[in-house]
Amino acid sequence: MIRLSRLAAVARKEFLHVIRDWRSLVMAVAIPLLLLLLFGYALSLDLKNVPTMVLDRSQTPQSRQLVSLFQGSPYFEILSHTDEYAPMQHGLDRGDILVGLVIPDDFARDLLGGRDTEIQVLVDGSDANSARLAMNYVAAIGASFSLQVKAMRMQARGVSDTGAFVELRPRTLYNQDLRSQNGIVPGIVAIVMVVIASMLTSVTIAREWETGTMEQLLATPIRVPELLVGKVIPYFIIGIVDVALSVGLGYLLFDVPLRGSTGLVFGLASIFLTGTLFYGLMVSIATKSQVLANQIALLSSFMPSIMLSGFMFAIQDMPSLIQAVSYILPARYLIAILRGIYLKGIGLEILWINALLLAVYMVIMIVMAHKKMRLSLE
């Protein structure tokens, strides 16, 4: 049976160590701010003001009408016009432009003659994601221009209404402005907990072995559950403070809405945080080396959480094998939960499966850390 007095003594000892080690304490507070600034400002999946160069060989009202659609779009910024291919090729080679638009000299003649015509679009594909987005934007503008041309042709023929047009009016739910920060900031909350938990608790037991104080602890009547839980309590409090800091800064700096329950965010984050803290303890117990424990914890938790949890890359776009691997990452479920609460305002009636999997992860980590600690003492 766990004695609260012994548990409090271990927690107090660990609190004193955290306070005395001011560098770790500062790092625990600075990392959430650093990650928010780094990912919130530097990592953007949006593409606007694409640098564009135009080669208009037609020089007609029709070609200028097409160019005006690009000029009026927030996604393109026409930097210059040219009369030859060479400057456009040079601009693409140097990376000065991302898109080159080439309008042929027979563009207006074909349009006025009722014939289909083509324009050439050159895109720098060295950045595949940006190139893909730019091509989609170009295709959307091309479709809009085609509708305008069809309308003008019908008007010229005296046809007022054929009833043949289908007008699409897309509406984006939950993230109307398609701001990438709205999806990134909830993910940062999970990444912050992974970093803090793996960085701090992965060294706590190993430090006891290296400094020789573990023998002193074993000479006391403290039991294994009291030792582990007492070790976790200070870092759990630090982790919750970091969650609050991340949520608050996400709203103040990036105006990311929290449409769902704030209590649900902290409740489910607490489950994830507890599991991750005990995972760090388990690594610390197994390695008995602070440096090695810290490296293993970061490599096995932080990097997979960044790459495979859906934080940066869509899981459905990954190979089947990588998608299967992502199911064992608890950050995958927490990020899905946080985005659902933040952007959709949904609750456990929809998120209960993810919440249950987080609870299972927490229980498994607690049991494994307890078992590992007992084996290391035998």
Of 90, 122, 156, the last residue of a domain is 156
Residue at 163 is within a domain = no
Q: Which of 68, 25, 75 is nearest to 51 (CA)?
A: 75
CATH number, residue 109: 3.40.1710.10
Same domain assignment for residues 135 and 219: no
Percentage of residues in the chain having pLDDT higher than 90? 16
Helix (H, G, I), strand (E, B) or coil at 19: helix
Residue at 144 is within a domain = yes
β-strands 120-123, 76-82: how paired?
A: unpaired
Residue 268 CB-density burial (10 A; 0-12 exposed, 13-18 middle, 19+ buried):
buried
73 is written with which tokens? 């779009």
Integer Cα distance of 317 and 323 in angstroms = 9
| Amino acid at residue number 11 | A
More confident residue, 151 or 346: 346
Residue at 34 is within a domain = yes
Same domain assignment for residues 58 and 38: no
pLDDT band for position 215 (cuts 50, 70, 90): low
Same domain assignment for residues 246 and 299: yes
Residue at 167 is within a domain = no
Same domain assignment for residues 201 and 285: yes
What is the rounded average pLDDT for all residues in the chain? Answer: 82
- Which residue segment(s) compose the domain that 244 sits in? 4-43+179-377
Same domain assignment for residues 37 and 100: no
Residue at 84 is within a domain = yes
Same domain assignment for residues 15 and 99: no
Q: What is the pLDDT of residues 273-312, one digit of tens each?
A: 999 999 988 888 888 777 787 788 778 888 888 888 888 7
Residue 50 CB-density burial (10 A; 0-12 exposed, 13-18 middle, 19+ buried):
buried
In the block, tokens 């409740």 appear at: 267
Residue at 172 is within a domain = no
Same domain assignment for residues 210 and 354: yes
Whether pLDDT at 98 is above 60: yes
pLDDT band for position 225 (cuts 50, 70, 90): confident
Same domain assignment for residues 139 and 225: no
User: CA torsion sign, 374 to 270 to 283 to 319?
Assistant: positive
Residue at 203 is within a domain = yes
Same domain assignment for residues 224 and 306: yes
More confident residue, 333 or 300: 333
Q: What is the pLDDT of residues 45-91, one digit of tens each?
A: 667 788 999 998 888 888 888 888 888 888 888 998 988 888 888 88
Same domain assignment for residues 197 and 95: no
7 is written with which tokens? 């548990």
Same domain assignment for residues 54 and 32: no
Q: What is the pLDDT of residues 138-170, one digit of tens each?
A: 888 888 888 777 777 666 666 555 555 555 666
Give residue 269's pLDDT.
Answer: 93
Q: How many domains does the chain have?
A: 2
| Amino acid at residue number 155 | Q
Of 156, 187, 211, the last residue of a domain is 156
Q: State the DSSP H helix or E strand holding residue 155, giving kind and residue range, or none if neither.
A: helix 128-156
Residue at 169 is within a domain = no
Under the phi-then-psi rule, with left for phi > 0, alpha for psi from -120 to 50, and beta for the rest, what region is 212?
Answer: left
| Amino acid at residue number 77 | E
CB 326 within 8 A of CB 309: yes
Same domain assignment for residues 205 and 345: yes
| Amino acid at residue number 102 | V
